[in-house]
Amino acid sequence: MITPRIEIDLEKIAHNAKALIDLYGSKSIHVIAVTKAVRGNPDIAKTLVKSGIEILADSRIENIKRMYNAGVQAQFLLTRIPAISQAEAVVRYADISLNSEISVIERLSAYAIEYDKPHKIILMLELGDLREGLMPSDLDDIVKQASKMEGIILAGIGSNLACFGGVIPDEENMGTLSSIATDLEDKYELKLEFVSGGNSANYNWFMSTQDVGRINNLRLGESIYLGCETLSRKPIPGLYTDAMTLVSEVVESKIKPSLPYGTIAQDAFGNIPKFVDQGQIRRAILGIGLQDVQVSGLTPRADIEIIGASSDHLIVNAKDLELNIGNELEFDLNYAALLSAMSSQYVNKVSSARVNAHEYCERVEQDYRRHLQLLPGISINEDHSPLLNLNESGFNLMFEPSSQQGYQFMVREAVYEKIGRISKHLDMEDKTLWLRSAWRSYEHQRLLWQERVASLHTEYPKKELNEIEELVSYFIAPPNKSMHATGGAVDALIYDLKSDSIMRFGTNDGMKINLNDKCYPYHPYITPEAKNNRKLLIGLFEAEDFVVDLKEYWHFDYGNISWSIGKGKDQAIYGMIEV
């Protein structure tokens, strides 16, 4: 799979959200989930809503629009004080916003009237952290003006602590917020929907207090995604702390000195680096750097040491771990690292639940075993249609070089016509069908089988031949059972002419495919980009009555016995042929 990437375990996030809803609900405090750190990721947002979250909060209107456009069914709260230039977008996409400036509230009122969409505001109070918020002495004047504005609903008051100044939420400042809420309601005959005490930093106050007062709401992000409170970053009992995993790949691994040699000046970021002399070390470089993530917030799960980073490279001391090129390493992230990695366009985001992926693979294996049992019972009513050469078709196609000298991409006549229509469809999208394989002779298939057996025997010298052949059979059919011998099977990817490259399908690097269970066509644990690309590829072939292979997203069958099983038919029209 493509690296670097963030692997997002949705089930663990769901567990944490439900646990925190129950925890704070025990004292009548409702939870708003903050999606800022995950950049409004729609998969995460939908998971939070399914877990019982009714309001999602984000500091960027762009992230709220992303969730809104993805069909996330929730109310949206803008947590950053709105810019007056964004007032129209705030009213259009957010239901609630945090505010401290009367001129901005006036602009929100104007757009609320224009769009006939009432907008709720929560007035933020300054309680010591010195970030956003009104001084309590200025509150009365703002309340008087805001409560008279058409289209504006004064829905509550709130505070934000431990974000800028590091001020701890405690009995005193939470008590002050509660008292102000009570005074406002009595003075102006209001009923405040929200008395929002803060964020994940409020956990210790909540656990220690006997009376939460009027505080009925908290805005939580870090404790949901990373399972910790934010004053000392201690894990919250019962929560997962590994729902988010950063994965990066080894791009260099060598024995080198631990100290740079030569005259030392500033590094690329203006710092003068310092290093500890550890002699010769096993020094590995990973394909991720400061342009991708805040490296100081990473903790390796393996016993290695992070030495430092440049823009594009992370340098580690592998210690006793023998790291080879292509090996992947996993890291835990703190909040700053999570925020930077999720915001980076260079880090792939993979949303899935590991349990679901496991269940999916189990289901594929069961379906494959059933498929093998059904194969002998399918009869063949051969239509004797000829093989035609796609190399000479004139269709806009690209052909993968074959290890077989003079290999021709031959398919049955009906398949030939279907490929032509697929090709024309891709022409309209500036894409081209990349053909990997078509008809194969018995001899061709035998050589592929033998090459793979030899390769795995080298990789696993202690395995018996029958064990090796079982591994090979996961992705290569025995010579006498290959659907490619029927002329009805095609292996294909898609080439994007705009990027001048083969599209990413989750397990491929160009035309090279890494064979593993993520090759199963609908594996949930691949990137959104790979899912979309597979959807396009599979959709094109299914529209032409092909069936996609159970284990290979690039393999498509028509007319042969695999196609018959996939379509629920009793007969195939293509048997195996030799030319």
- Contact of 265 with 247, CB cutoff 8 Å: no
- Contact of 324 with 250, CB cutoff 8 Å: yes
User: One of 12, 36, 431, 531 is an active-site residue; which one?
Assistant: 36
Strands 96-99 and 119-125: parallel
Residue 107, phi-psi category: left (phi > 0), alpha (psi -120 to 50), beta (remainder):
alpha
What is the longest distance spanned by two Cα atoms in the chain?
A: 93
Could you tell me the two tokens for 158? 């709130």
Could you tell me the two tokens for 103? 């001129």
**569 vs 576: CA distance, rounded Å:** 18
DSSP state for residue 320 in the 8-state scheme: T
Burial class (CB in 10 A: 0-12, 13-18, 19+), 244: buried
**239 vs 237: CA distance, rounded Å:** 6
3-state SS class at 512: strand
Query: Is 463 a residue of the active site?
Result: no
Residue 472, phi-psi category: left (phi > 0), alpha (psi -120 to 50), beta (remainder):
alpha
The sign of the dihedral angle between the CA atoms of 419, 422, 424, 426 is negative
**CB-side exposure of 174: number of CA atoms within 13 Å?**
26
Which H or E run contains 145? helix 139-146
- Other Cβ atoms within 10 Å of 17 Cβ, number: 25
- Other Cβ atoms within 10 Å of 287 Cβ, number: 16
- Residues forming the active site: 36
